[in-house]
């Protein structure tokens, strides 16, 4: 049963190699491999989720070496939903990519590698192993961003490469400090070993280790002002890639931050060193506002969504800083919800770009009449992102705000309200243009010519639209089933509150 956990990582790595060989036979082989991989991945994550549901936390010792010396993989009520999320996102993106592309076997190899990396980040219970998976995730993402093949994509990828590598290196450095201080790399034993060091939480080595690891992960999460790589990476990559990385890459890093902060360092550390959490709240709050303001300023829709992610992850990091049960539940729910919503929104942009060539705010005029179904799905996802009940965006945001109020952080509650208004502002602008503005005649005529940066507009498959609609429906259904989701998450969080 627990073998499924390791297969979740091994399977995509194996699948990453296949397209290279099968590419000799067929140009389309990669897609079939990816589809098979994502279906199998979904099956495996369902098995894991089921096991967690029946028996709680499950653990797997890689290679038969028992922790704390061997590498341990763990699934609990928090990571299991994320694993299912990864599987579903992968499947959705693969279905979408059949028509939308990029049509190369290399792309599917990179996609499978990325899946492996993200699954690994979520499943691992070992801080060094987490670094390895972060790097796998990073390398695959750099390559995927560059698959946009435009000069700007190459620059964005390079920027991401530099900044991301520095972030990962800082994390590795922090891991080294912890290893020096404690002699272990397993998360669970680290939490005990850190307290047992001679100086305990006051040890400079431990503190420096936390600072390095947290900063490194914050770079990966893309918190303002460490977000600079992110808008370019999201905006310049192909739509399929944008959707996938926006849904999962920062999410995995934020999950890593959660694990490091709460499993490795624990709430006792946060209480002993209040600045550790205060910095999260401060950076997160700044990120919420700055991301929203920057999003309002954008005229390119993909950039707008990218900055929106800066704001939303600010929310998650703030919740990690607040650190009470309600806020943490909100953070996990919002991680899941954001992935569904943001992924769906990017896929919708891909549909718009492919069918009518609309990429900027002005080109969105009157779009609802030409793409009614996708526009409706876009609107649903946008309203969910704003936090309008009953969609999932509301559940996460609501729990975070309630948590902030419980903790007496009224300023955070205020920031969230302000950012909600700004979110409404930037999505409102788009929806107003889609639904209530008539397109200029010239725009319509130009659209097909200028679409997709000069490339001819490709047509849109039924599958592409279906994936977008499914994302929108999922956002609403998850919201309606929000309390069930919280019931799954809560027991895993209780562990940190004993």
Residues forming the site for other proteins (CB under 8 A): 158-159, 162-163, 166-167, 170, 204, 207-208, 210-212, 214-215, 218-219, 225-226, 228-229, 231-232, 273, 275-276, 279, 283, 296-297, 299
Q: Which of 330, 333, 334, 323 is nearest to 407 (CA)?
A: 323
Q: Which of 309, 291, 313 is nearest to 422 (CA)?
A: 291
Helix (H, G, I), strand (E, B) or coil at 321: helix
Please name every residue paired with 192 in a beta bridge, in sequence order, or none if there are none. Answer: none
If the CB atoms of residues 391 and 422 are measured against other proteins, the closer one turns out to be 422
Helices and strands in the chain: count of H runs, count of E runs: 21, 2
Q: Which of 348, 324, 377, 353 is nearest to 459 (CA)?
A: 353
Alpha-helical (H) ranges within 124-185 are: 127-146, 151-182
If the CB atoms of residues 228 and 466 are measured against other proteins, the closer one turns out to be 228
If the CB atoms of residues 274 and 456 are measured against other proteins, the closer one turns out to be 274
If the CB atoms of residues 59 and 197 are measured against other proteins, the closer one turns out to be 197
Shortest Cβ 223–other proteins spacing (Å): 9
- The dihedral through the CA atoms of 54, 60, 64, 66 has a sign that is negative
Shortest Cβ 379–other proteins spacing (Å): 22
Q: Within a 10 A sphere around the Cβ of 328, how many other Cβ atoms? A: 27
If the CB atoms of residues 185 and 270 are measured against other proteins, the closer one turns out to be 270
> Can you tell me the distance from the alpha carbon of 288 to that of 224, in angstroms, rounded to the nearest whole number?
8
Q: Within a 10 A sphere around the Cβ of 211, how many other Cβ atoms? A: 17
458: tokens are: 């490709």
Helix (H, G, I), strand (E, B) or coil at 88: helix
Shortest Cβ 153–other proteins spacing (Å): 14
Shortest Cβ 309–other proteins spacing (Å): 16
Q: For 411, left (φ over 0), alpha (ψ -120 to 50), or beta?
A: alpha
If the CB atoms of residues 170 and 485 are measured against other proteins, the closer one turns out to be 170
Helix (H, G, I), strand (E, B) or coil at 460: coil
If the CB atoms of residues 231 and 337 are measured against other proteins, the closer one turns out to be 231
Shortest Cβ 225–other proteins spacing (Å): 5
Shortest Cβ 76–other proteins spacing (Å): 28
Determine contact, residues 363/430, Cβ cutoff 8 Å. no
Residue by residue, DSSP assigns 188-230 as HHHHHHHHHSTTGGG-HHHHHHHHHHHHHHHHHHT-TTS-THH
Shortest Cβ 155–other proteins spacing (Å): 9
Shortest Cβ 145–other proteins spacing (Å): 14
Give CA separation, 95 vs 35, 358, 456, in Å.
7, 22, 22
Shortest Cβ 189–other proteins spacing (Å): 23
If the CB atoms of residues 190 and 226 are measured against other proteins, the closer one turns out to be 226
If the CB atoms of residues 187 and 214 are measured against other proteins, the closer one turns out to be 214
Shortest Cβ 335–other proteins spacing (Å): 22
If the CB atoms of residues 94 and 283 are measured against other proteins, the closer one turns out to be 283
Determine contact, residues 344/475, Cβ cutoff 8 Å. yes
Sequence-distant (≥ 6) Cβ neighbours of residue 334 within 8 angstroms? 312, 315, 316, 319, 393, 396, 397, 399, 400
- The dihedral through the CA atoms of 495, 1, 86, 338 has a sign that is negative
Shortest Cβ 226–other proteins spacing (Å): 6
If the CB atoms of residues 275 and 449 are measured against other proteins, the closer one turns out to be 275
């Amino acid at each position: 049963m627990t073998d499924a956990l390791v297969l979740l990582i091994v399977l995509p790595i194996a699948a990453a190699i296949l397209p290279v060989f099968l590419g000799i036979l067929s140009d389309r082989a990669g897609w079939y491999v990816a589809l098979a991989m994502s279906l199998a991945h979904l099956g495996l994550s369902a098995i894991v989720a089921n096991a967690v549901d029946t028996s709680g936390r499950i653990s797997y010792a890689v290679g038969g070496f028992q922790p704390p010396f061997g590498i341990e993989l763990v699934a609990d009520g928090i990571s299991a939903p994320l694993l299912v999320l990864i599987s579903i996102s992968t499947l959705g993106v693969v279905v979408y990519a059949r028509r939308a592309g990029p049509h190369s076997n290399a792309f599917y190899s990179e996609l499978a590698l990325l899946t492996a990396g993200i699954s690994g980040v979520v499943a691992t219970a070992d801080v060094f192993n987490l670094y390895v998976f972060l790097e796998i995730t990073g390398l695959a993402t750099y390559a995927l961003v560059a698959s946009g093949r435009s000069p700007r994509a190459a620059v964005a990828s390079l920027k991401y490469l530099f900044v991301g590598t520095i972030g990962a290196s800082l994390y590795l450095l922090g891991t080294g400090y912890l290893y020096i201080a404690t002699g272990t790399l397993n998360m669970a034993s680290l939490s005990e070993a850190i307290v047992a060091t001679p100086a305990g939480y006051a040890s400079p080595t431990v503190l420096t280790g936390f600072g390095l690891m947290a900063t490194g992960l914050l770079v990966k999460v893309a918190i303002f002002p460490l977000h600079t790589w992110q808008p370019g990476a999201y905006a310049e990559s192909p739509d399929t890639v944008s959707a996938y990385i926006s849904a999962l890459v920062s999410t995995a890093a934020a999950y890593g931050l959660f694990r490091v902060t709460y499993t490795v360092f624990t709430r006792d550390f946060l209480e002993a060193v209040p600045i550790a959490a205060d910095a999260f709240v401060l950076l997160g709050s700044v990120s919420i506002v700055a991301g929203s303001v920057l999003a309002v300023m954008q005229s390119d829709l993909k950039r707008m969504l990218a900055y929106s992610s800066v704001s939303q992850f600010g929310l998650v990091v703030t919740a990690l800083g607040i650190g009470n049960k309600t806020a943490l539940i909100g953070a996990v729910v919002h991680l899941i919800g954001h992935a569904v919503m943001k992924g769906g929104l990017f896929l919708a942009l891909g549909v718009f770009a492919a069918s009518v060539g609309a990429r900027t705010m002005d080109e969105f005029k009157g779009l609802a009449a030409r793409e009614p179904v996708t526009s409706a799905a876009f609107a649903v996802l946008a309203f969910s992102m704003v936090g309008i009940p009953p969609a999932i965006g509301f559940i996460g945001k609501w729990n975070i705000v309630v948590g902030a109020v419980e903790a007496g952080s009224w300023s955070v509650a205020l920031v969230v309200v302000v950012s909600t208004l700004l979110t409404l502002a930037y999505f409102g602008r788009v929806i107003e243009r889609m639904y209530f503005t008539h397109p200029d005649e010239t725009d319509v005529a130009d659209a097909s010519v200028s679409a997709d940066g000069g490339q001819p507009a490709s047509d849109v498959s039924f599958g592409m639209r279906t994936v977008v609609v499914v994302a929108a429906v999922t956002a609403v259904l998850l919201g309606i089933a929000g309390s069930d989701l919280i019931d799954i998450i809560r027991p895993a969080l209780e562990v940190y509150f004993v």
